[in-house]
Amino acid sequence: MNSTIIREDCIKLINNFNEVNKLFNKTYLITGSNGLVGNYLVNLFSLVNHLYKAKIKVYCISKHAPVWKDDRFVYITQDLSHHFTFKYPVDYILHCACYGRPKKFLENELETISLNINATKTLLDTARTNKAKLVFLSTSEIYGNPPPEEIPTKESYPGNSLTSSSRAAYVESKRLGEALCYIYNRKYDIGSRVARMALVYGPGITIHDERVMGNFMKNASVYKHIKLMDAGKGLRTYCYITDALNMLLKIMVLGKDVIYNVGGTETVSIYKMAQLVASYYGATYEASSASGLKDAPDIVKLDVSKACNEFGIHTFTPFKEGLKRTMDWNANR
């Protein structure tokens, strides 16, 4: 297990996941198994095996060697942006591999496109061969910058992104990945699902992560000062990792529709996050008059009522609590 905090999170999720027995005696393929979502899934399945002797088998694929191993699982080091094959029988495929950080997908645009399109098609073919279910991790960014009347944003909103945007490689390839899932469902009835994830965070977000939360933690812990890129008025609705996994697993085993939003319910400003992080580390903070990130949406807030109503989800981790657990995990490292 990666850490005590991650173990505690996974135990709490297992205890509250009424469908845990539906995970037993199945084989899973998890791509991006070193990432935040993938790593938590591997930890979770490992713990389910330990607690219930559930006979879960997992194939873990990541670009780099794993940071820890469960000897009962199979680990494969593979860059999925290049051609690959997978020939082992599986029941479920969770396609979590992608460059999710803006800096990374801006630096690796063609690789990002390949991960979301070519790799997704290969995995859909694998699902078809095995009569397996596939869950494709998409993104709230496909909605672009919705108008006020479309916030919170429902799954039915078509989006308004531009192919000329600096983020187009990420956004548009996610859209085509979703289209592939629909096509394979219609042609081959494989039952693929799409989870449009928004701002999932938790232990695994380190101070070396270039996104705003990691950047704030690094500046506060190392330099004792946070300077925002703008006034910090942007609003974000963050989702703690275990809340996201709860929704993701229910989509996988219970989902009746194809597309679901996966996100939180508590909205905070970037400025408020800076305050909370600075307070934890005993640091100072200040806003800026600069314009901030180009092409980033002003408000990210998904309507998650579809998943909540269908799966009976009623509680979410308060942002302040989840942020503290994330910073505690970093401190323990």
53 is a domain residue: yes
331 is a domain residue: no
Mean of the pLDDT values across residues 217-238?
95
Q: What pLDDT band is residue 2 in, cutting at 50, 70 and 90?
A: confident
194 is a domain residue: yes
Mean of the pLDDT values across residues 101-110?
88
Which range marks the domain in which residue 179 is found?
A: 4-201+238-264+301-316
What pLDDT is stored for residue 99 in this prediction? 84
Q: With contact defined as beta carbons under 8 Å apart, do 313 and 163 qualify? A: no
Could you give the number of structural domains in the chain?
A: 1
Q: With contact defined as beta carbons under 8 Å apart, do 130 and 279 qualify? A: no
User: Does pLDDT of 291 surpass 90?
Assistant: no
CA gap 172, 142 in Å, rounded: 7
CATH number at residue 194: 3.40.50.720
Question: Which tokens hold the place of 128?
Answer: 């078809």
41 is a domain residue: yes
Angle of helix 319-332 relative to helix 270-281, nearest 10 degrees?
40
Question: Which tokens hold the place of 45?
Answer: 């399945």
Mean of the pLDDT values across residues 264-279?
97
- For the CA atoms of 175, 208, 228, 265, what is the dihedral angle to 10 degrees? 50
What pLDDT is stored for residue 294 in this prediction? 60
Question: Which tokens hold the place of 106?
Answer: 């801006």
What pLDDT is stored for residue 106 in this prediction? 87
228 is a domain residue: no
- In sequence order, the 6+-apart residues with CB closer than 8 A to the CB of 186 are none
User: Does pLDDT of 3 surpass 80?
Assistant: yes
Helices vs strands, H then E, count in the chain = 11, 13
Mean of the pLDDT values across residues 28-49?
97
Q: Which helix (H) or strand (E) holds 272?
A: helix 270-281
From residue 61, give the alpha-carbon distance in Å to each of 102, 207, 228, 300.
22, 24, 36, 30
20 is a domain residue: yes
- Write down the pTM of the prediction: 0.95
Mean of the pLDDT values across residues 253-279?
97
Cβ-based neighbour number of residue 277 at 10 Å: 25
Q: Are strands 193-197 and 133-139 parallel, antiparallel or unpaired?
A: parallel
Q: With contact defined as beta carbons under 8 Å apart, do 174 and 231 qualify? A: no
321 is a domain residue: no
279 is a domain residue: no
